[in-house]
Structure 1
């Protein structure tokens, strides 16, 4: 199942820079692991925002939730999920 996910990151302004950098490093490693597994096939930055649009390939809603809640930045994110289905006019 494919899901379009928008993630807006809202790190508290008073978070120490060293802690924020450590969380971001763990986030990058975790997200790249999911990408290598094929679970996170697409990620695009939203220009001018600390946000992204991503496509996830998950077996279920529960698997997607586990992947998203495993993100080290999850506590600092606003996330919107849209389940995707094939369009009848698609040639693929």
Structure 2
């Protein structure tokens, strides 16, 4: 199942910058692990914001939920999820 996931990161003012750098490094490592597995298929930065738009390919809503709440930066995120399905005019066979 494909999902569009919009993530906005909101770090509290005064949050420990060293701890935040650690969390960002852990987030990047987890993202790259999921990307290599084919789960986190695409990611785009939103210009001028600490936000991204991503495409996930997971077998269920529950698995996506578990992935998202397990992200190191999850406590600082506002997340919006939209389920997607293949458009009949798409030329890409991997758009399941």
Q: TM-score, normalised by structure 1?
A: 0.96
RMSD across aligned C-alpha pairs, in angstroms? 0.7
* Inter-partner Cα distance in structure 1 for 2:91 and 2:29: 35
Report runs of 4+ in structure 1 exceeding 4 Å deviation: none
SS in 2 for 1:6: strand
Question: For residue 32 of structure 1, what is the aligned residue in structure 2?
Answer: 32
Report the Cα offset of residue 28 of structure 1. 0.5
* Inter-partner Cα distance in structure 1 for 2:50 and 2:91: 34
Gap regions ≥5 residues in structure 1? none
* Inter-partner Cα distance in structure 2 for 1:36 and 1:30: 10
Count of residue pairs brought into register by the alignment: 92
Q: TM-score, normalised by structure 2?
A: 0.92
Q: Once the two structures are superposed, what CA deviation does each residue of 1:1-51 show, in whole Å capped at 9, x if it has no partner?
A: 000000000011110110110110100001110001000010000000000
Gap regions ≥5 residues in structure 2? none
